[in-house]
Amino acid sequence: MADVEIKKLTKSFGTVEVIPEMDLVIPDGSFTVLVGPSGCGKSTLLRMIAGLELQTSGDLSIGGVDVRGRDPSDRGIAMVFQSYALYPHMTVRENISFALRLAKADPAEIEARVQNAADILQLTPLLDRRPKQLSGGQRQRVAIGRAIVRNPEVFLFDEPLSNLDAALRVQMRVEIMELHERLKTTMVYVTHDQVEAMTMADRIVVLNEGRIEQVGSPLELYDTPQTAFVAGFIGSPKMNFVRGDIPERLGGDLLGVRPEHMTLGEGDTGWTARIHLLEQLGSDTFAHVDSEVGPLIVRCHREVAELVGRDLRVAAKPGMLHLFKDGRRTDAPETL
Amino acid sequence: MKPAEKLFAYVVATVFIVFLVAPVVWLLSTSFKGQLDIFAKPPVLIGDFTLENYREVLTDRRFMGSFLNSVIISSLTVVFSMLLALPAAYGLSRLRSPAKIPLLSWVLLVRAAPGMIYVIPYFMVFNEIGLIDTRLGLVLINTVFTAPLAIWILISFFDGIPYEIEEAARVDGATRFQAFTKVAIPMAAPGIASAAILVFIFSWNEFLFALTLTRFEAKTAAIAILNYMGYAGTEWGKIAAAGILILLPVAIFAIGIRKYFVQTAAGGVKG
């Protein structure tokens, strides 16, 4: 178990600066998710922790040890790749034991550790198969098994579920969370999927254009996004944004309200609106509304279907406003 | 495909096969004929069946010595070419430099140049260092021509190995060299087999250098056939039998190639 400490870290590829300067501490035993859109530098950051990319400048330590110049295998990390990256010419057993065999570990210990990993991941019946004989989920489990046997201080996951179908993704999400519960090892997990980040993390690091936008627990990020980017990135459906006169009157330039913090009905207060599309999810109904302040999404009860085509009013619930100025959070009033 | 198109395709394929196979069939037929049948007019495809040509060729120590030379020279050429081409192809495949394309072009240029321009310089150098009429000499010069061929075949196979698999190996504690030997080489096995077979066939069929750089000791089978074209006349039956014997390993390898071209790298990464 170890923390990961990053100080004044930068990374450039040629003249392209991918990570301008970053400070970050990933606490010991945490499940930290690095999340952000494509090209935000999250994978590059993970690969620098792994030692697969070298930092341009700055310090990186794992468990208090400066790992600059150390090989990936000498950093106490194990990594699970998006593409699984299994060795196709080896059986599951050989894949999982590869690191131990390279390290010339005692054969009895290798067998014991492979068996332990296989038990945890329910891979025992598959140990003598080759990767091409496995399903996507099984392959990813083998990749995780390969990481487990090394008893790493830090697990690194690079979008490990992106190649799986939706149902399997949910299942593997739970399995990885259970693994973290069981091992209590520091895990750093990269994803572009904010739902994965929200459900799995105890700490989320939101990255954008190589900079950290905000670090916090999933609910902190959801409830008090510190930047307009985080407000727009975390949450599904996205936060509604209103620009123009209304936020300016309040002292900002962008007003945000989450879909569940809006009401839609036939009252007298609020902005005039009309439903132009309904998304029925069973548990929720999302009304896509054309309002006088622009398009909005409102979470409603399914009975709202009766209101389609009528002139309605949409309003924000008191105390649920997010106000931003120059992209940063600023104090918002209770009501409009 | 319309019936007319199908017919056209069959006709073209048949003509092509006849052109390719007819000489081989004629060679095979001649090898089992006596001298009289060989020159019979009109020609006969199957004459009085005889194994005499094979018996004479197989008991001809000079020819069989050359046959053994061919086996040794071709096998060693495969070993030398692979020792050079494997690291070279891997290195070029993984090279992230603008020099990659020019380097590859140079590799190809060596292979594309006509062999004739190399004959005189090699002859002179080999003469100085005592490599004329040695197996090693032929192995070396064959390697010069086959290594680029092997590099080009192998590069595409190494290119097909996802970089992430080697990174996984490095995270697992493999050195660059171990990632090469324990991961990249086994994954490129079908390519290595194909390249080895093509190198063998090239070396086996090589004629120009074997003719100019050998005399007695290192003569290969392809050249030894010429012994049957003497002042007293050409021994067509023996030439045919020897030709078939020379063709045999190539035919076996050609059949072998097909199964090695099956891609075995599937399953390691999401395809």
* Cis bond upstream, residue B42 (ω within 30): yes
CB A220 within 8 A of CB A192: no
Residue B234 forms part of a structural domain: yes
Q: What's the pLDDT tens digit per position in A86-110?
A: 999 999 999 999 999 999 999 999 9
Residue B13 forms part of a structural domain: yes
Q: Sorting pLDDT into bands at 50, 70 and 90, what band is B151?
A: very high
pLDDT computed for residue B263 by the predictor: 46
Tokens of A23: 């400070």
Residue B55 forms part of a structural domain: no
B160 and B87 in a common domain: yes
* Helix B61-94 with B189-205: angle, nearest 10 deg: 140
B158 and B86 in a common domain: yes
Residue B261 has pLDDT above 60, yes or no: no
Residue A83 and residue B183: Cβ atoms within 8 Å? no
Helices (H), A234-315: 245-250
Give the max Cα distance, chain A.
Answer: 77
A285 interfacial to chain B (CB closer than 8 Å): no
Q: What letter would DSSP give residue A121?
A: T
B82 and B126 in a common domain: yes
Minimal CA separation from A168 to chain B, in Å: 15
Most B-contacting residue of A84, A92, A94 (CB-CB within 10 A), to test interface: A84
The span from the CA of B59 to the CA of B172, in Å, is 57
B119 and B40 in a common domain: no
The position carrying tokens 């690969």 is A47
pLDDT computed for residue A79 by the predictor: 94
Residue B253 has pLDDT above 60, yes or no: yes
Minimal CA separation from A223 to chain B, in Å: 37
User: Which residues have a Cβ under 8 Å from the Cβ of A111 and sit 6 or more positions away?
Assistant: none
Residue B171 and residue A78: Cβ atoms within 8 Å? yes
What's the mean per-residue pLDDT of chain B? 88
Neighboring chain B residues of A136 at a CB cutoff of 8 Å: 270
The span from the CA of B180 to the CA of B196, in Å, is 18
Residue B268 and residue A50: Cβ atoms within 8 Å? no
Residue B86 forms part of a structural domain: yes
pLDDT computed for residue B266 by the predictor: 41
Q: What's the pLDDT tens digit per position in B199-252?
A: 999 999 999 999 999 888 899 998 999 888 888 788 899 999 999 999 988 888
B77 and B35 in a common domain: no
Give the range of the structural domain holding residue B70, as residue numbers without chain letter.
61-260
CA-nearest residue to B270 within chain A is A83
User: Which residues have a Cβ under 8 Å from the Cβ of B226 and sit 6 or more positions away?
Assistant: none
Residue B253 forms part of a structural domain: yes
Q: Sorting pLDDT into bands at 50, 70 and 90, what band is B269?
A: low
| Domains, chain A, ordered by start | 4-231 (3.40.50.300), 237-330 (2.40.50.140)
- Which member of B167, B173, B266 has the closest CB to residue A102? B173
Cβ count within 10 A of residue A328: 11
Most A-contacting residue of B157, B172, B181, B183 (CB-CB within 10 A), to test interface: B172
Q: How far is CA B182 from CA A95, A99, A104, B163, B177, in A?
A: 12, 12, 14, 14, 8
Minimal CA separation from A110 to chain B, in Å: 14
CA-nearest residue to B172 within chain A is A99
| CATH code, B193 | 1.10.3720.10
CA-nearest residue to B173 within chain A is A73
Q: Sorting pLDDT into bands at 50, 70 and 90, what band is B271?
A: very low
B210 and B182 in a common domain: yes
The span from the CA of A195 to the CA of A163, in Å, is 16
- The SS3 call for residue A35 is strand
- Which member of B167, B168, B187 has the closest CB to residue A89? B187
Tokens of A258: 């989450």
Tokens of B89: 């192809």
pLDDT computed for residue B260 by the predictor: 63
Neighboring chain B residues of A84 at a CB cutoff of 8 Å: 268-270
CB A264 within 8 A of CB A300: yes
Average pLDDT over residues B171-183: 92
Q: What's the pLDDT tens digit per position in A67-78?
A: 998 999 999 999
User: Which residues have a Cβ under 8 Å from the Cβ of A25 and sit 6 or more positions away?
Assistant: A3, A4, A5, A6
Tokens of A245: 């006169």
CB A75 within 8 A of CB A50: yes
Residue B8 forms part of a structural domain: yes
User: Which residues have a Cβ under 8 Å from the Cβ of A254 and sit 6 or more positions away?
Assistant: A228, A241, A242, A243, A247, A323, A324, A325, A327
Which residue, among A333, A291, A282, has the nearest Cα to A315 in the 3D structure?
Answer: A291
| In chain A, % of residues over pLDDT 70 | 100
pLDDT computed for residue B47 by the predictor: 76
B104 and B38 in a common domain: no
Residue B165 has pLDDT above 90, yes or no: yes
Letter for the amino acid at B163?
Answer: Y
User: Which residues have a Cβ under 8 Å from the Cβ of B117 and sit 6 or more positions away?
Assistant: none
- The SS3 call for residue A206 is strand
User: Which residues have a Cβ under 8 Å from the Cβ of B101 and sit 6 or more positions away?
Assistant: none
| H or E element, residue A175 | helix A166-183
Cβ count within 10 A of residue B158: 21
Q: What's the pLDDT tens digit per position in B41-64?
A: 888 777 788 899 999 999 999 999
CB A89 within 8 A of CB B190: no
B207 and B171 in a common domain: yes
Tokens of A10: 């930068």
pLDDT computed for residue A69 by the predictor: 87
Residues of A (96-155) whose Cβ lies below 8 Å from B: 98-99, 102-103, 130-134, 136, 139, 143, 146, 150
B3 and B69 in a common domain: no
Q: What's the pLDDT tens digit per position in B97-115?
A: 888 888 888 888 877 888 8
Residue B37 forms part of a structural domain: yes
B125 and B3 in a common domain: no
CA-nearest residue to B162 within chain A is A85
Residue B265 forms part of a structural domain: no
- Which member of B167, B173, B270 has the closest CB to residue A99? B173
| H or E element, residue A278 | strand A271-280
Q: What's the pLDDT tens digit per position in B71-103?
A: 999 999 999 999 999 999 999 999 888 888 888
CA angle, residues A170, A174, A180, in degrees to nearest 5: 145
Beta bridge partners of A22: A9
Residue B8 has pLDDT above 70, yes or no: yes
| In chain A, % of residues over pLDDT 90 | 82
Minimal CA separation from A285 to chain B, in Å: 36
**Complex confidence, ipTM:** 0.83
Of A229-243, A247-261, B23-37, which gets the smallest average pLDDT?
A: B23-37
Average pLDDT over residues A37-49: 93
Q: Sorting pLDDT into bands at 50, 70 and 90, what band is B258?
A: low
CA-nearest residue to B178 within chain A is A102
- Which member of A86, A88, A103 has the closest CB to residue B173? A103
Helices (H), chain B: 3-31, 35-38, 52-58, 61-94, 100-112, 116-129, 135-159, 163-171, 176-178, 185-187, 189-205, 208-213, 221-224, 236-260
B83 and B215 in a common domain: yes
Strands A271-280 and A211-216: unpaired
* Length, in residues, of chain A: 336
Most B-contacting residue of A43, A81, A126 (CB-CB within 10 A), to test interface: A81
Minimal CA separation from B262 to chain A, in Å: 14
Q: What's the pLDDT tens digit per position in A304-330?
A: 888 888 999 999 999 999 999 999 999
Count Cβ–Cβ pairs < 8 Å, chain A vs chain B: 91
Neighboring chain A residues of B170 at a CB cutoff of 8 Å: 52, 71-73
How many domains are contained in chain B?
2
B141 and B32 in a common domain: no
Residue A219 has pLDDT above 80, yes or no: yes
Which residue, among B185, B183, B146, has the nearest Cα to B167 in the 3D structure?
Answer: B183
The position carrying tokens 């081409």 is B85
Residue B265 has pLDDT above 50, yes or no: no
Strands A4-13 and A16-26: antiparallel
